[in-house]
Structure 1
């Protein structure tokens, strides 16, 4: 009886210690999550602060003097912003679909043991992660060989395949799609395309959602390809347009005294900068919760090394 009582007491103590530990780590993770959200809320607060209040009181999350001046200044570019937003949404959707399709099919092929050239194509993908041809060869291929200068495809095709995502999906397919299922489908007479669409894709939804999120973030935040290949105002993506507005703000501020006018003083530089950050990050931040459950599962399974 004494031994049983001791075991019960020990189990109760272990359980209470585990509950206390879980409570402590829950609070710690919650505070860590709030610390990650704090900078974004801080940027939103500064974007609604007047330029004079920023000069007197400095940066504050709660505006000392509420103002829409930053957003009003951006509203003057509303036609360009709407056009650039449409371009960004298009290249993000189409580019993500293309990237996910190419990446998942490539990764599935090299994850199968019966694929004769899987080692060659695996090393080929890894080689592109280690070595890059450089900016000039890329520019010549896109503009001269493919003739995509001032084309919407110049913003999509250079990012149509991701070697890192290929390695993630390769491991994911090997861990979640057993060879026995594939062999059973082949015995039943299913083609490779049918196996991939009807069997592999439903099993790989978390991994595909993970690489889709990576690809969407890459296309949404990309401005460098527009800088290299795009000169037409109608094809500027949102990030590149906001960068140009930022450059114009800096140019006006630096040359206020040279022209003898005071035009630059009326422009809310800091509030406009923060407003641009809000406009560029808010849409993608709102879509992230819909991918979160797939993102965690796909990243943890696909990140296992072999």
Structure 2
């Protein structure tokens, strides 16, 4: 360790010191808001209003979480969000892979035309009102399809996956497979897909996060509260203070309602974030590799 330090010049040491300082500050700026929400969700709101809660919880209580887990609208929203995220991600990733692989093949006739067609969708769009009218005319209002189909395959993601295929699946591998009697379909399913786990993990994470955090499409296209995703339920609680009556059944005074509402707000944020915090560690190693290969090479 001492030998390593002696090899470093004063400039290198100063550079490392500045880097570690900036990175530490950045890490604290990112992590502290999450930590504050966590400790606020189990603290007495009176202490939060007084500014006493900033490093550890005060007036420890699980009242907010008890009310959240006893409310049916939260669980319905949870189930809806999981359904939309799973179905939407499966459809999106499947369409992206099926579109990107032919575009990565040099022997695919017309691939430049289709590539330009996909790129045009990145720069031009009909806007909210025409999109709403289209969804309405297709009979998708107040259905899951209004949330998962309009944005199922993005041009940018198709380009990333196509670049990954071009840089990671050599033509020699395909030619050798064809010599052994492998068809295009078998080659894609048994060779290309298993070798594409990194970029598939990237696409899965992108879309799961997008569907899980999305509320605007649900706000526009859904009018049945039984179909609301969790984020729309969370929005109603945070923005409009629409806390379910089941959570307030034993609360009488206005001040007590405000106190319970604050606990529920912080608690719902934590509850809504848990699935993504659980998912990311399993996809992290694939995510980093896939994002770098798919975006830089090619």
TM-score scaled by length of structure 1: 0.83
Unaligned runs of 5+ in 2: 244-251
Is 1:291 the counterpart of 2:283? The answer is: yes
How far the C-alpha of 1:74 sits from its partner, in A, is: 3.1
Could you tell me how far apart the structure 2 residues matched to 1:217 and 1:94 are? Answer: 13
* SS of match in other structure, 1:267: helix
Say which of 133, 150, 163 aligns to 1:171.
163
Could you tell me how far apart the structure 2 residues matched to 1:284 and 1:229 are? Answer: 24
Per-residue displacement from partner, 1:169-195 (whole Å, max 9, x unpaired)?
A: 111111100011112222333221111
Runs of 4+ that moved beyond 6 A: 12-15, 20-26
Is 1:140 the counterpart of 2:120? The answer is: no
Maintained 8 Å contact 2:167/2:297? no
Is 1:47 the counterpart of 2:41? The answer is: yes
Moved more, 98-107 or 25-34: 25-34
CA gap of 1:162–1:15, structure 2 versus 1, over 3 A, is farther
Moved more, 263-272 or 275-284: 263-272
Partner of 1:282: 274
Matches within 5 A, 1:37-76: 37-75=31-69
Matches within 5 A, 1:1-306: 16-17=7-8, 31=24, 32-33=26-27, 35-75=29-69, 78-144=71-137, 146-249=138-241, 263=254, 266-268=257-259, 269-304=261-296, 306=298
Maintained 8 Å contact 1:102/1:161? yes
How far the C-alpha of 1:114 sits from its partner, in A, is: 0.6
How many residue pairs are counted as aligned between the two chains?
Answer: 284
Unaligned runs of 5+ in 1: 1-11, 252-260
Maintained 8 Å contact 1:246/1:273? yes
* SS of match in other structure, 1:227: helix
Could you tell me how far apart the structure 1 residues matched to 2:85 and 2:117 are? Answer: 26
Maintained 8 Å contact 2:101/2:162? yes
Root mean square deviation of aligned Cα: 2.8
Could you tell me how far apart the structure 1 residues matched to 2:281 and 2:47 are? Answer: 34
TM-score scaled by length of structure 2: 0.85
Maintained 8 Å contact 2:237/2:265? no
CA gap of 1:124–1:25, structure 2 versus 1, over 3 A, is farther
Per-residue displacement from partner, 1:47-77 (whole Å, max 9, x unpaired)?
A: 222121112225514123223343344345x
Could you tell me how far apart the structure 1 residues matched to 2:226 and 2:96 are? Answer: 30
How far the C-alpha of 1:34 sits from its partner, in A, is: 5.3
Q: Which has the higher helix share?
A: 1
Maintained 8 Å contact 2:214/2:231? yes
Per-residue displacement from partner, 1:94-124 (whole Å, max 9, x unpaired)?
A: 1111111101111111111111111111111
Per-residue displacement from partner, 1:231-282 (whole Å, max 9, x unpaired)?
A: 112211111111122344179xxxxxxxxx9525532344332222211112
